[in-house]
Chain A
């Protein structure tokens, strides 16, 4: 008799809704636990940024932050095989590149990344994830703390292999007049699950997130955001855009939580999805919770096929359908890739997009024609 295994629930919606829709969380089978050695990522840094690698848990208290899944978060806190602290001092500026690679020798990464920017500093952290392993997993906790007037940008390109479950819990605490910027390209993994919570409790603090994805095969991409705002004149801007191929699924759960006292706050969230196959699933749950009247909150969500007029126009200019589709998808996600701010990461993300589009196309007979006409796509 088969033993029934309990599923793991990721990315619980802060305010659940109808159960029959099955959108309140993502449910996946548990992963097989594997031994993983201590791990140090590839690293380089510029300017005034300081980087320290550590063992054990050096995270500060995270309050009621539950992460994508409370148990997974506890593992990242107490059983991490990689720890890294990045910081800049007051009025300093710097950048750090970190690359985390999975392999059969290092199939499971459980890691902490602590980013602290002192007052009026400017710090950019570039994160790259790649590599694969059977039943591989990434369980990554990122903590971002900005001092008054500081600016932190985290640019991430995730290119894990097709057997990897990539989970990231990201908690941000934005200081007065500071800004936390996230730019993410979630392109790899069998499941890419990201949970971002950023507290905007201080006046004029800002949170911006741009994320893109391209789902293929039976990949699951799950974005969850929760931004409680209580500071005066805070600004929240969440943009998620991408496309789905084959039988892939995308979940977007965005919650902007305007708390009482957060006057003059502005928040917007947008989720755009291009549907490239009849069997894809696009799920969108954009929440606006509002206990303060003096705010402006907006959300927008759209899903549909590629605009036929655009396709016709490009094809009338000599592109075949595949080439035209690729151009349109690229134009949709390109602003996010361009915002990564690092040429090497941008190229890797772009290359991954093109490979994925062709991975799909290779299944048809149009691939040869397409690559003959557009050799740069191969």
Chain B
């Protein structure tokens, strides 16, 4: 009897050990699986095009782009005015060093060998293959209500579910919007981000091309996300897409933006512009997984204006680029408007990612909550640069900012540069930030439970960014975790 009992206990023990080993093997495999994950983004196609401008930025080039796109005169005038502003404006005297970015070497417009289609089968094979490898058509089938795909300077595919069209939702490429909805575009185009805002906003105003236009009528709830994907294949080129989203009163939408490019030995430039107009009681979630190649200067501008009781919800994951300057801004213009920002930035070798968030409270009882995480490794530089401004009309405003930075080694750098301006006494503001490395105690604890040091560190990093992955739809959370695993692979001490 006693022998049987001992035997059972032994069997139970063996079973537990087996389970534990299986679990460890599973964790190891999770990390190893992503060995080739980088190839998903870093693959090149032959550089073919139907038309491209010369490198550099001149009035002739700006006129050429406008002419090729058959734009109305006001848009050409706008481009020329922006060019003039660009030529007279100084580069920012703060932020990363962008002296190696030479505009004379950047090709501002590359039209791919394809017209815009609404069926993937009509898209040329090499371009379709690019988006297949990025998983876009598959995602469209399973989890998206509409897709836009831009290749270099132009959109090559756009679709939207019929049901949404019947409800009056518009999701189209920006050239079509300019043609079909000219009045709306004219009333909103670069009104939130004027070309005078900064030098790269002026550049965008001069040479913008491609991008998406979304219009959600009052009261419509677009329950399944829309996604635009931007792929830059041309070496030495710039991508300057313009995204405009107008969400009318009481409407709701989730927009996902993805971007990537293969790596070249010359600098590429991304200076897109996103303008979001969110009406009263409306809600917009804007999610971005940015994985530009490590030769990219990502100098993008995003801004939202939010009406009464409206909500803007930013979710961003920044992994790619050589240099990034990206600070999505929320202007809380209506009473009770709310902003939520959840972001993670991961800088590896040779990367200088200067990211953050800006919020301006302009109305009573507006609220904002900023939650930023950053990780730097292998000499990468992560900067959190943020701002909160509470203006005199914002009686009863509440703002909370939290930024946490994790450094994975002693070659990296991580800075937090927040600025807070309060001009009203009836407010409540809290800000906190911390910098440090993974706690030795936490690693020791996990290792005492059977994980290797690498596995323990990877697990802690995934836990660190969990608030961001939780805010994303499942498929994108998985993509983000894959990117993190890829970044971590081989870099952990």
A contacts, CB < 8 Å to B: 15-19, 21, 23-24, 258, 260, 273, 275-305
Contact = CB atoms under 8 A, between A and B. Distances in A.
Contacts of A303: 420, 422, 427, 429
A281 B432 contact: no
Looking at chain A's contact residues, the main secondary structure is strand
Contacts of B434: 296-299
B93 interface: yes
A290 B414 contact: yes
A292 B408 CA distance: 10
Contacts of A295: 435-436
Interface in B426-454: 426-437
A295 B93 CA distance: 29
Given A286-B433, A303-B429, 15 more contacts: A17-B94, A18-B358, A281-B422, A283-B419, A283-B422, A284-B422, A290-B414, A291-B412, A292-B410, A293-B410, A293-B436, A297-B433, A298-B433, A301-B431, A304-B429
A333 B408 CA distance: 39
A194 B407 CA distance: 32
B12 interface: no
A26 to B, nearest CB: 13
A295 B414 CA distance: 11
Contacts of A301: 418, 420, 429-432
A286 B409 CA distance: 24
Contact of B410 (A284, A285, A294): A294
Interface of B: 92-94, 358, 385, 387, 389, 392, 405, 407-410, 412-437
Contact of B408 (A24, A293, A298): A293
A289 B412 contact: no
B420 A260 contact: no
A22 to B, nearest CB: 8
Contacts of B437: 293-294
A302 B392 contact: no
Given A16-B93, A293-B408, A278 B417 contact: no
Given A277-B425, A297-B436, A288 B94 contact: no
Given A16-B94, A293-B409, A286 B427 contact: no
Contact of A275 (B92, B389, B427): B427
Contacts of B387: 17-18, 21
A297 B420 contact: no
Nearest to B401: A301
A15 B432 contact: no
A314 to B, nearest CB: 19
Most-contacted residue by chain A among B407, B422, B425 (CB, 10 A): B425
From B405, B417, B437, residue with most partner A Cβ within 10 Å: B417
A97 to B, nearest CB: 37
A289 B415 contact: yes
Contacts of A300: 430-433
A288 B416 contact: yes
Given A283-B420, A293-B410, A19 B429 contact: no
Contacts of A15: 94, 415, 417
Given A275-B427, A298-B432, A19 B92 contact: yes
B435 A297 contact: yes
11 contacts: A18-B358, A24-B94, A273-B422, A278-B424, A288-B416, A297-B433, A297-B435, A297-B436, A298-B435, A300-B432, A302-B430
Nearest to B440: A294
A21 B419 CA distance: 8
Given A17-B419, A295-B436, A298-B432, A290 B405 contact: yes
Contacts of B428: 304
Contacts of A282: 420-422
B290 to A, nearest CB: 21
B415 A288 contact: yes
A302 to B, nearest CB: 5
B410 A281 contact: no
State the main secondary structure of chain B at its contact with A. strand
Shortest Cβ-Cβ A-B pairs, 4 listed? A275-B425, A293-B407, A297-B435, A301-B431
A19 B94 contact: yes
Nearest to A24: B94
Nearest to B386: A17
Contacts of A280: 423, 425
B425 A288 contact: no
Nearest to A15: B417
Contact of A285 (B392, B408, B418, B432): B418
B428 to A, nearest CB: 5
B17 to A, nearest CB: 36
B421 A23 contact: yes
A267 to B, nearest CB: 9
Contacts of A24: 94
Given A260-B410, A285-B419, A285-B420, A305 B426 contact: yes
A283 B413 CA distance: 26
A277 B414 CA distance: 37
B435 A290 contact: yes
Contacts of B431: 284, 286, 299-302
B415 A287 contact: yes
A16 B415 CA distance: 12
B425 A18 contact: no
Contacts of A258: 435
A14 B407 CA distance: 22
B416 A287 contact: yes
B422 A275 contact: yes
A276 B454 CA distance: 52
Contacts of A16: 93-94
Contacts of A297: 433-436
B425 A276 contact: yes
Given A17-B94, A293-B408, A288 B433 contact: yes
Nearest to B431: A301
B436 A296 contact: yes
Nearest to B433: A299
Contacts of B430: 300-302
Nearest to A298: B434
Nearest to B415: A289
B409 A278 contact: no
Contacts of B422: 273, 275, 281-284, 303
Contact of B421 (A279, A281, A299): A281
Contacts of B429: 301-304
B192 to A, nearest CB: 14
A238 to B, nearest CB: 14
A300 B432 CA distance: 4
A91 B436 CA distance: 37
Contacts of B92: 19
Nearest to B426: A305
A292 B415 CA distance: 11
A281 to B, nearest CB: 5
Nearest to A277: B425
Contacts of A299: 416, 431-434
A242 B316 CA distance: 36
Which among A278, A293, A298, A299 has the highest number of chain B CB atoms within 10 Å? Answer: A293
A275 B358 CA distance: 23
Contacts of A260: 410
A329 B26 CA distance: 58
A304 B427 contact: yes
A299 B432 CA distance: 6
Contacts of B389: 21
A268 to B, nearest CB: 9
Contacts of A285: 417-420
A21 B421 contact: yes
A284 B94 contact: no
A276 B436 CA distance: 36
A107 B410 CA distance: 52
Contacts of A275: 422, 424-427
